[in-house]
Every structure is written in structure tokens, then in C-alpha cells.
A and B are shown apart, each in its own frame.
Chain A
């Protein structure tokens, strides 16, 4: 197992390096660079910039260097100094930007993730056990609606409903009066109120897939011979269902938990923009638009790390849950 894990870790490191190289390359692909964009915005704002100043700025930020030098300059600082560089557009270290946004992003993503699993696993089991019942059809319909309607459209619809019912669109995480107020019970309630739409929108969209997966896995398991054997031996139906069937059926979901890790960091970008949530996804989006290469690159780098770590966690979880998988790993 140790050999397997070491091998896996080495592959992970190589994967992260290659992904970083690729993302940095992609970021620099669009025409121009941050300085072109920056100068464009300065000119739009009525400022004057001549070519000498632009060239000097390019030299200052090493944008006149070849791609590979720019990449190494950034990547080596991360590896050897833990320094992600500076955000051009925000004029501050990338770590400070991440620090400012990571809290709300993770809080939102984890709440949504918990909501998704708390809803989808029991509903999936219920739908499988009560296949073709009214409840099964009801949940299936809701799920398909959640899946079919784009997140941002669902968000707009819910905001409209909220506006008609309460006179507030529930945008952002707080009402204007609590935005900068110190923490209080009222502010906490206000936060919860504002979390309803994002959690529903992001959660419902993910829930559908998970419910369908759980349902089909459960149906597979319920029809297997060991269930019949258990019943023949006089085991209670609930015991068979929860002790054996659920454990086996939950495997694909467990393997997807790791992949969800990346969502924890990004938040759901478009939904976050529509709902004006202080998510890192929004910052990332703006960084890409502005060609803020170190901020965008660092964020994609973190996403790459989250993805490979997530995959690793999924593998380990699967090995832990499924003796067959564990056996395979030990062999490997």
C-alpha cells in the first residue's frame, strides 16, 4: 500500500506540474497581456499612457520575457518560497486575495455539498426501495427539473420569487444593513436567509445526478443474490438494505467526493456572479478577463492540486469502503 501511495504521489506531483504549465500557457494565449488590458482601461478612464511607459511597465512585470521564463519565475517561487506572486489588477499578493475570499467560498461550497449529500443519498435509497411509487416519480421530476434548468436561470427565478414575496432579491450573503454590521444573532439569521437561494440553486443541480446514481446502484444491489440469501436466512429487510446494499451502492458516490474538492475552492462561478456571492470563482473569472496571469494561474494551480488530491482521496476512500478495491490496491 505504501509503495502504491508513493507511486501515486509522484504521479500527482508530475500531473500538477504539467497542468500548471498547460494552464499558464493557456492564460498567455489570448492576444496582448495584462499591460495591454490595463492600458486599455486606463485610456478608457481618460488617462494618458505613451509607448515608453507601456514598455517600462512590461519590463517591470517581466511581461517582455519569453513564456517559459515567465512560467518558471512564477512556478519556482511557489515551489521554493510558497509565494504565488502578485495580482496585477488588485496590486496585492495573490495569497492575500486567496485569504480574503477562501473563507466565504469554502463556507458556501461545504454547506452546499452537505446539503447535496444529505438530500441525495436518502432520496436515492427511498426511490430505489419504492421504485415507481408516487414518491419516486415526484423526486425524479424535481431532480430532472433541477438538472435541466441552468443554475443561473434558476437563481434568477428564485430571486424574482423572493422579490415578489419579501421585496428583496436576496442578493449577496447579507442585507445592506448587515453588510458591515458586527456579528449578532440578527446578522446570523440574515446570513441564513440569504443562503437559501444559493444552497438550493447549486445544491439542486448537483443533487439530481447523485440521486440517480444512488437509485440505480441501490436497484442493482437490491437485485443481487446476496440479498436473496440474506432474506432466506431470515435477516431483516432493513438490515440487509442498510448494512450491505447501501454500503455497496455508495461506492460511486464516495469516489466522487474527492472530485468535489475542486468545487469547494471554486464555488460555482456563474451562479456566484448572478447571486453576487463573494466567491473565489468570481475573482477567478475577473482575473481571466483581465489577464491577471499570476492570480489566474495560481488559482488554476490550486484547482489542479485540489483535483489530484481529490482523486487520491477518492481512491483511498474506495479502498477503505470496498474490500475488493482494497485487495486490488494491495496487489498493485
Chain B
């Protein structure tokens, strides 16, 4: 009896397993359009296209709960290369919302005990979109022959880059304090090393944020990148295999251009520098260039609709082992921004990003357009702000702008609620220029500092400032007392942007508010942004500027719009360390502290030092209100067609996290 029962149970189990197995086997593991090519013998089988089982990237966090069908096309507006690029970007390591990184193209890494050598491990069996193997050679070659092609070994400066640009991600100080680029070496097909001169704790974040692609297909590039095979390599390494130079021919500029053109008529460049900039750096705009991305462009850039089709060799699978992405095609339609809303409402676009000023029109048309409005988090410190140039050339105005009481008065004399209602449909929140609660750089009380509207107190603050009058002149303005401008009214020109129509309205409101405290405000209207940019670069010829989307995800990882390093930061002006004629701040001044904190951050070799320096910069803003923040929304919006599924509502959208790319578009799917 027992034997019979056991046999029966066994039989049931066997039948169930076979049945279960057949159900599992029925789930498509790849897009039908690829399965057809496999069946026709024009494409290798899936297991031969993706990395080995142990090394394939399994996307668990973003896999949908259901089992989506493959296929379909997403249509969205063409917002330019920095819109469609990040949607499909695949860095070696990817940055997470909490500021840490995780392996992406890379399988993992080891760091030596002294913090100087990063050993990067790659995935076995991974392939470029044309089916050629992706190996460590592609990383080592990119660094040594595309990104850093020549170095002045005395100064450590990168003097030539085929990619047209080299930032300072890989530069660390040697024992003499000279900043030198790292050495990158091949170990085996799945391993390479990055060796620094001193520790750089945020190297992987820097790679994730700034050098998002630390690789290129060597075999495809070796004939189109300028190279002198007879010259010794700048790194001093003579074993060419170790620096990716094995088998490289000498290529002159003319040959590089001719070879590129022979590959495709789309690669018709004026000179080798442009070739390097476009194919070595902005390659994702060019059809035919093998990539590791989920979709690749197949249209020339002149097409009105840019079409991106799936990469048959994409190396990520979902939790069920199904190759990603689910969606076959992305289309980016070029049109004037004024047409986005009507095309979205007509159902001709699946996705449009917009800000709070357009919220009413998109929100009210959700049902007609069969879409939903989703809200994303934007980690900016402020969406509407005013900056006074601390290095303005006129000493009397410069002294005034440097006065903390002046900035305090400016901050509290503005009626933020009214600005919000009149210009931004009440969609924002009054806030000072500061990181919001929940962000890493948040300081308690900073967003609320000096935001209460109080004209009386503002007037009292200005009354206490030396060098300006307490009384108003016949036109109702305060005047300078003494100096070159003695008796002249205080007139502040505020720069506005050509492409920000709200700026003029904002300045008009500010003129009203500041008239009440005796200051005359004039809009410096820039008919195009070049004018404004030129003023920024000059550093000392503009007084003040209204701005938006300033501050960011992390001071430590990207300090640019809050620290004193850039050459075009409005409030910093010529105090920016990168400015050609950088000024030295007065000893003991608040600006000196900001400049010193910036220097420390840029040269720190421990995480603790970097964090401390970043904290000093945030504190400097809290103490000095360098930038007067009016409103903050920390929000942007997307109108997403209802047929698009697995789209993450509420994701963090910023450059560091690659905007929409942070929603992992390869995990979206379409279900009508």
C-alpha cells in the first residue's frame, strides 16, 4: 500500500515538474524579433550573446512583478543628446540614490590596503552590440589611447586627449604634490587595474558621475584614433599589451578622418579633434558605433525622428532570466518645445517631462490624453534664487554685496508667497538656498532661514550698514555715502536669461519689493544666453543674477554650483579657482573660508576629509547666505502614457543619477 501511495505521489511529482517545467520553458526569454533572427540563423542563440550565468547582470530590484511581453515603441520628444543619452547609459559603476556606487558594466572591484590600486573585474562572455567580445583591453585602450593620449610628465598635465576632454577624476597628488593622472593596466581579459598616486576615496563615484563610459571597442576604434605607434607611451610602460596598445597602427589625422568616413558617411568630420569629440566622447549619437547600451541609434542626426533599436547582445536579464530591455524601440521626435503638450494630449508621445509652470495643462488633460502625471524628486537647493557677484569690479557695490546684513535684508524683503502664486501657480514652497531635509547636505533650519517676509526689519538692517544712506532721495531710493558714488542712488542690475521667460517677471516683482527698502532694481535683459555667459566668464562685470536649479545631489561628489571652483559660478565670480584671473580672497573673510574649503575638498585623500570639507562648504552657505533662495519645489513632473508600465514614480532625477536613466528604462514595458 505504502509503495503504491509512494509511486502515485512520485508520479504526481514527475507530472507536475514536467508541467511546471514546460510552463517555465514557454516564457519568452528574449524579444520575438531577436528569436526570429536566431531561428533564421542570422543571430547567435541567447546564451551565446549574454555573459555566462555566473556573470550576467540580474536586475532584481527593478524587475516587474508580472511577466511582461516584449516589444513596442516608446515615443518621446527629442530633448537633445543629454536627454536621450542618459536614458540608455551604462557606466562601469552606477551611482545610487544614497550616493554609493554598485557594479554595473564591471562585475566588481578590489581596493588595495594602501587605497592606491583599484582592481576592476569584468563580466565573462559580455559582448558589444556588434557581437565582438568586451574585454579589459577595451577599458585600458580607452584610457591610454583615447582619453589620455599625452601627458607632460613634469607638470602632470594631460596635454592631449583624443576624446577632446580630460577632467581631473583620475588625478591625484604624487609625493611632491604634483597632480598626476592614474596609470591603467591590463591584467587579463576580465581584469584591469587603476593605480593612483595618492588615495581618492570617491574615484568610483567620479567614474560613475563624470567618466560614465571608461571603455570603447578597441578593434573598431584603432583605425580612427590618431596614434603614433613609434613614439613611447606617456605612461612609461613599454609592454603594449598592458596599456592596450598591442596591434595599434600609426594613424595620422588625415588617415583617421578617411578611415572614419570609410566606416560611414555619418562620420564626416572637419578635423581629428571633432572626430575625437564626437566619436570618442559623444558616440551615442552616431549609428553604427558598437555600444553596451540597451538601445542604439540607427538614424542620422538630421532625421526628424531619431530611432533607437534594441541591442541584441544586451547583458542584463530580469529576475526570471529574461533578456532586457522589454521594449524594442525608442523614438525621439524633434519638435519645438511649445508642441510637447498638444502632442502628449493627442496621444502621439508616450512621455514628456515638464515643470510646475505647465502642471495645470498636463494635469487637467490626463483623461483625454490617456496618461498619468508622475512626480519626481529633484535634489536642487533652490529653484528660484538670486546671486550677488562677490567679485564685482566696483568696490562700493562689492562691499555692499559682501555685507551679510545686506543679503539678510534682501532675503526677507521679498514676498515669497506672492512670487509663488503669481509666477509658479503656487506649486513651489518658500525656502532658502539650502539642501532639503533628507538630503546628505541638509543642515537643520537652513531651508527656513531668513524667509519670513518682513520689510520693516529689512529696512532696519539696511539702516545699520555704513556707506549707504538711511534717508531716501527724491525718487525714493537710498544713496551711497562717500566714495565715488557719493549721493548716487543704489541701483542694482540683475541679469536675466533669454530662455527663462519667468526671469523678467521675477525681476519685476523684486524691483517692487526692493523699492520698499530703498533699492533700485534694473533688469539686465540678455537677448541671448551668450551675453550672460560672456559676463560670467569675465567674472567681474555683472552685479547680480537670477537663477534656478542651483545646488545639487551632493556637495562632496559634485560641488560645482556651491563651491568656489568653477569659472562661471555667479556668486563666486573671479574667486572661482578655475577662473583664468582668479582672485585671492581677503584673509579672514568668509569667502576665504569657502575657497579654502573648496581647495581641501578637491585635494582630500580620505573620505573623512572630503566629507568634512563638503560640510564646511554647506555650512558656509548656511552662515553667509551667499545665494538668496526664494522658492524650492524639489519636484519635476512626467506625463507618462498609461500603456507604459513599471515606470517608477517619485524617482530622484538629477544629472549625477542620469535623470530618466535612474528609472532604469530597460525595465519598462508596454501593455495597451
Interface residues, chain A, with chain B CB atoms under 8 Å away: 30-33, 36-37, 39-40, 43, 45-46, 48-51, 53-54, 60, 85-86, 90-93, 96-97, 100-101, 159, 163, 167-169, 171-172, 176, 179-180, 273-274, 276, 278, 289, 291
Q: Is the CB of B343 within 8 A of A60?
A: no
Q: Is the CB of A179 within 8 A of B537?
A: no
* A282: nearest chain-B partner, CB-CB: B336
Q: Is the CB of B580 within 8 A of A51?
A: yes
Q: Is the CB of A100 within 8 A of B271?
A: no
Q: Is the CB of A91 within 8 A of B274?
A: yes
Q: Is the CB of A50 within 8 A of B302?
A: no
Q: Which of A33, A51, A101 has the most CB of B within 10 A?
A: A51
**B: contact size bracket:** 35 or more
Q: How far is the CA of A168 from the CA of B345 in the complex (A)?
A: 9
Tell me which residues across on chain A come within 8 A of B167, comparing CB atoms. 48
**Chain B binding surface SS class:** loop
Q: Is the CB of A101 within 8 A of B302?
A: yes
Q: Which of B333, B343, B348, B530 has the most CB of A within 10 A?
A: B530
Q: Is the CB of B578 within 8 A of A50?
A: yes
Q: Is the CB of B534 within 8 A of A31?
A: yes
Q: Is the CB of B655 within 8 A of A169?
A: no
Tell me which residues across on chain A come within 8 A of B530, comparing CB atoms. 30-33, 36-37, 40, 291
Tell me which residues across on chain B come within 8 A of A54, comparing CB atoms. 537
B367 to chain A, nearest CB (A): 14
User: Given A91-B269, A92-B268, A278-B304, A32–B531 Cβ distance below 8 Å?
Assistant: yes
Tell me which residues across on chain A come within 8 A of B655, comparing CB atoms. 45-46
Q: How far is the CA of A50 from the CA of B582 in the complex (A)?
A: 13
Q: Is the CB of B580 within 8 A of A167?
A: no
Given known contacts A30-B531, A48-B560, A90-B302, what 12 new A-B pairs fall within 8 Å (CB)?
Answer: A31-B534, A39-B533, A46-B82, A91-B278, A92-B301, A97-B302, A163-B346, A168-B348, A171-B339, A179-B304, A179-B331, A180-B305
Q: Is the CB of B578 within 8 A of A169?
A: no
* A170: nearest chain-B partner, CB-CB: B346
Cβ-closest 6 pairs across A and B: A32-B530, A100-B302, A46-B655, A45-B82, A86-B270, A40-B533
User: Given A159-B342, A169-B343, A176-B75, A60–B271 Cβ distance below 8 Å?
Assistant: yes
Q: Is the CB of A96 within 8 A of B346?
A: no
B307 within 8 A of A: yes
28 A-B pairs in the complex with CB atoms less than 8 angstroms apart: A30-B527, A31-B528, A32-B531, A33-B530, A36-B533, A37-B528, A43-B533, A46-B558, A49-B165, A50-B567, A50-B578, A51-B537, A91-B274, A92-B268, A92-B269, A93-B270, A96-B265, A168-B348, A169-B342, A169-B348, A171-B348, A172-B333, A176-B331, A179-B304, A179-B305, A179-B331, A273-B336, A276-B335
| Residues B149-167 near A (CB distance < 8 A) | 165, 167
Q: Is the CB of A92 within 8 A of B560?
A: no
* B537: nearest chain-A partner, CB-CB: A51
A320 to chain B, nearest CB (A): 39
Tell me which residues across on chain A come within 8 A of B291, comparing CB atoms. none
Tell me which residues across on chain B come within 8 A of A92, comparing CB atoms. 266, 268-269, 301-302
B529 within 8 A of A: yes
B350 to chain A, nearest CB (A): 10
Q: How far is the CA of A167 from the CA of B347 in the complex (A)?
A: 9
Q: Is the CB of B165 within 8 A of A53?
A: yes
B391 within 8 A of A: no
Q: Is the CB of B348 within 8 A of A176?
A: yes
Tell me which residues across on chain A come within 8 A of B82, comparing CB atoms. 45-46
Q: How far is the CA of A267 from the CA of B645 in the complex (A)?
A: 40
B300 within 8 A of A: yes
B306 to chain A, nearest CB (A): 10
Tell me which residues across on chain A come within 8 A of B343, comparing CB atoms. 169, 171
Tell me which residues across on chain A come within 8 A of B335, comparing CB atoms. 171-172, 276
Q: Mark B332-358, 1 if CB is under 8 A from A, else 0.
A: 010110110011001110000000000
Q: Is the CB of B336 within 8 A of A274?
A: yes
Q: How far is the CA of A143 from the CA of B655 in the complex (A)?
A: 52
Q: How far is the CA of A159 from the CA of B346 in the complex (A)?
A: 11
Q: How far is the CA of A39 from the CA of B566 in the complex (A)?
A: 13
* A162: nearest chain-B partner, CB-CB: B346
Tell me which residues across on chain A come within 8 A of B277, comparing CB atoms. 91
